[in-house]
Every structure is written in structure tokens, then in C-alpha cells.
Amino acid sequence: MPETKFNFQLQHTDGSARAGELETPHGKALTPFFMPVATQATVKGLTPEEVREVGAQVILSNAYHLYLRPGVGTVAKLGGLHRFMGWDGPILTDSGGFQAFSMGPLRKVTDDGIRFRSHIDGSEHNFTPQLATANQEGLGADIAMCFDQCIAYGASEKEVRQAMERTHRWAQSCFDTHQSSPTGAAAGQVLFGIVQGGTFSELRDESARAISSIPFQGYAVGGLAVGENKEDMYRFTGQVAELLPQDKPRYLMGVGSPEDLVEGVARGIDMFDCALPTRVARNGSLFTPEGRVDINKARYAEQQGPLDETCDCYTCRKYSAAYLRHLFRAKELLGLRLASIHNLRFVLALMERIRASILEDRFDTFRKDFLDVYQPTDEAARQAQKERWLQTRGG
């Protein structure tokens, strides 16, 4: 890993909204930012150059999937994750806790870790905090995440507390492992802790205080966007953010709807990730300033101009909405790629505009103007879609 160490500098605040600069061994990133998801060392359908062109600064890969295939040892032998996938910017890796949780009956949780069967070949594996940390060190990520226990929305307070306390113990184990490893903290990689506690206010307070008592170099809000309504997600995000250190980056995990990014920033969040922009793009659902639209609709059949006249992405610069609709109707792979480029650019451009509004002390106005025009996906439809996605998450 390069010699540059990790550093976070808070540059400006506008209310609770924050603008800063994150320095990592593989370059700097301006906050707040959104991380495209490259689960298996690729943002589906796009080259690293295309991901960079749409404005991505940091990407997220998943240690669970890379552990299973091609293997952490293989990636390490090939020069680490950056060289392996051809991405020279910062990389954050998720530990695999959420993926192990989503395995359902294929996994068993104990105080030592999570035992599960591979969704690829059925082989049995046991993830512990120590192994999850070592995996991320072997991959060579700039930012590693603690191994935590996620729990399903709707679980009892007793179950949520048990998972939260286990997460706290695992966090300390991850921290101790990382601090003592020559390929971890000593090599410039940093480790973020994760706050859990479900939708129980007292547990969220307790978890935020417990996790922030460990000197991680960043903190994440986990266990949200898993089925709760948006009002609860926003409320608990703000509650936790208020309790986290001001001088450390805050990361809201698994959130990527445009309205959620705006509301997350309003509550003091610096970092986001989600597969949503590319996942819905592959289904023909595209972001516009007014909300998501379905490119398969007949009204686009003869639209000569781009889908979004205000968008500067490659897709909108080069192709008509009619052509994009044709590609989807004909089931051409180019349609999936062009739609993914557009959705990622929409989200990343939104983050750029949010940052500019914070630096110019006009974030509240920007937020109001954006939300007055942008129409979120219907809540019931969103919940149903989320449930379907969670059921297929293992692969």
C-alpha cells in the first residue's frame, strides 16, 4: 500500500450538513460522497474508467464474495484488489456481515462468529471477527469495516440487544486484530466501527456510545434501510450521527435513493453506498430530476432528445430516450450499460451539488428545492422491491 496515511478534515458545516476531505493511501475524496458498489470487484457492466468518468471517487467491494471467489489469497498474489480490478482510487470493503445475515437458513450465528454454507457450492465456512478483518487486510482495501451482526427488521428488543452486544464484542476483536497486524493499521489501512440497535432509540444510544468509545478512524450507521419506513430511517440516522465524534467521517450503510442521500446529509452523514442506482437501471428504471421513470413506457418510443436534458452523462450526451428504450425492448446489453452510466452519474452529480450548496451555506434551500420537485418511489412499492432484493441478496 502507498505510504500516504488516512486523514479526515472537516472543511465546512451548514447546519448539520458537512463538507470535508478524506485522504487515503490511494488518493483523496471530497465529502459527502456516494460509493458505487463493486461487489465482486466490478461495478456491474462498467469498466473502472467509466466509473471514474461518471464522477466516482471511492468504490465499495465485498469481502464475503471475494473470499468465496476468487479467494483473498488469489487477489493478494495478484497485487491486491486495486491492481486486480484496475481501480487506482480508494476502496472500502464491507466485511461480509450483511451477506452472512442474508443467507437465512444457510447460516448460524454464535458468539464466535457466523457459520454459513456458500451460495456457490454449498461448502461450509466460519466467519469470525478475526477472519473478516484479515480478509480485508489481504485484499488491501483503504477502509475496512468491522464484522457486525445484522438482524432482521421486526425482531424483538431482546433479539436486537443480543445482536448489538455481540456486535460490540466483535468490534473490539476486529480493532485489536487490526491494530496488531503488519498488513492492517501499520500498512495504512483504517477500520470503521458500526453502530447497531435496530429501531430502538435506547439501544441506538447505547450502541453509538459503545462503538465510539473504541478509537476507530470512522463510524458507520448500520442496520437501517432493511425494511423500516423512511421516517424511522431518518430519525435514527440523525440520532446516531449526533452522538458520533465530530472529527471522524460518518457512513450510512446501504442507502442510495436520491431523496435519502439528501436527507442523510441533512443529518450529518458524509459517506453512502448502495447497489440501488445500478440495480434499478438494469430493470429500466432511470433517475430524472422529477423522480424515477420506466424507460420501457410507450411515451419514450419516439423521444428524439435525451431522457434528461439537464444530465451531462455519456448516455444523455450521445443517445436519445427512444434509442435507450429500443435497447431495453430488444434486450440488448448496451441498454443496461447506458442506463447504469446514467443513474450513477445522476447520483454522483447530486452529491457534487450537495457539497457545493454546503460550502456556499445554502444547503437548506437546495434540499427544499430538490425535494419539492423529486418524487420518491411509492413507499409500498419500495418496501416490496426491497423485500424481493433481500430474498435474493446471497448471490
The per-residue pLDDT for 388 is 56
pLDDT at residue 390 tops 70: no
| All residues at 6 or more sequence positions from 386 whose CB lies less than 8 Å from its CB, including other chains | 225, 226, 227
Q: Which stretch of 27-31, 307-311, 390-394 has the lowest confidence by average pLDDT? A: 390-394
227: left (phi over 0), alpha (psi -120 to 50) or beta: left
| pLDDT at residue 383 in the model | 60
Confidence grade of residue 184 (pLDDT, cut at 50, 70, 90): confident
- Amino acid letter at 190? V
| pLDDT, tens digit, 9 for 90 and up, residues 345-387 | 999 999 999 999 999 999 999 999 999 999 999 776 656 655 5
Confidence of residue 104 (pLDDT cuts 50, 70, 90): confident
Residue from 165, 253, 264, 246 nearest 211 by CA: 165
Number of residues written out for the chain? 395
pLDDT of amino acid 393: 44
Q: What pLDDT is recorded for position 386?
A: 56
Q: Which pLDDT belongs to residue 378?
A: 78
**Which listed residue (14, 94, 142, 270) is catalytic?**
94
Among 29-33, 294-298, 339-343, 385-389, name the one with the lowest average pLDDT: 385-389
State whether residue 43 is helix, strand or coil.
Answer: coil
In this prediction, residue 61 carries a pLDDT of 98
DSSP designation for 283: T
To the nearest 10°, report the CA torsion of 209, 213, 219, 223: -40
Q: How far is CA 66 from the centre of its chain?
A: 17
Q: Grid coordinates 465456512 are at which residue?
A: 125
Give me the pLDDT at residue 391, please.
52
Is the predicted pLDDT of residue 284 greater than 70, yes or no? yes
Rounded to whole angstroms, the Cα distance separating 371 from 377 reads: 13
- Mean pLDDT for the stretch of residues 320-349: 98
Residue 186, pLDDT score: 77
Q: At what angle do helices 363-373 and 333-359 cross, to 10 degrees?
A: 150
CATH for 7-274 is 3.20.20.105
Report whether pLDDT(392) > 90: no
Residue 119 reports pLDDT greater than 90: no
Lowest mean pLDDT among 159-168, 175-184, 278-287, 346-355: 175-184
272: left (phi over 0), alpha (psi -120 to 50) or beta: beta
Grid cell locating 280? 434499478
Lowest mean pLDDT, pick from 3-7, 283-287, 295-299: 3-7
273 as an active site residue: the answer is yes
3-state secondary structure 127-195: ECHHHHHHHHHHHCCCEEECCCCCCCCCCCHHHHHHHHHHHHHHHHHHHHHHHHCCCCHHHCCEEEEEE
Which pLDDT value is given to residue 132?
A: 97
Domain ranges of the chain: 7-274, 280-379
- Contact between 90 and 58 under an 8 Å Cβ cutoff? The reply is yes
Is 260 known to be catalytic? no
Instruction: Tell the burial category of 380 from Cβ atoms under 10 Å away from its Cβ (0-12, 13-18, 19+).
Output: exposed
Q: Residue 394's pLDDT is what?
A: 40
d(CA 322, CA 231): 37
Q: How far is CA 148 from CA 96, 142, 164, 170, 364, in A?
A: 9, 19, 8, 7, 34
For residue 113, the 8-state DSSP code is -
**Integer CA distances (angstroms), 123 to 115, 118, 181, 209, in order:** 11, 5, 28, 38
Q: pLDDT digit string (tens) for 186-231? A: 789 999 999 999 999 999 999 999 999 999 999 999 999 999 999 9
Give the pLDDT score at 343.
98
pLDDT exceeds 80 at position 259: yes
The model's confidence at residue 395, banded by pLDDT at 50, 70 and 90, is very low
CA angle 273, 277, 278 (to 5 degrees): 105
Q: How confident is the model at residue 266 (pLDDT cuts 50, 70, 90)?
A: very high
Residue type, 66: L
First and final C-alpha spacing in the chain: 30
- For the chain, the maximum distance between any two Cα atoms, rounded to a whole number of angstroms, is 62
Q: Which of 142, 148, 260, 273 is catalytic?
A: 273
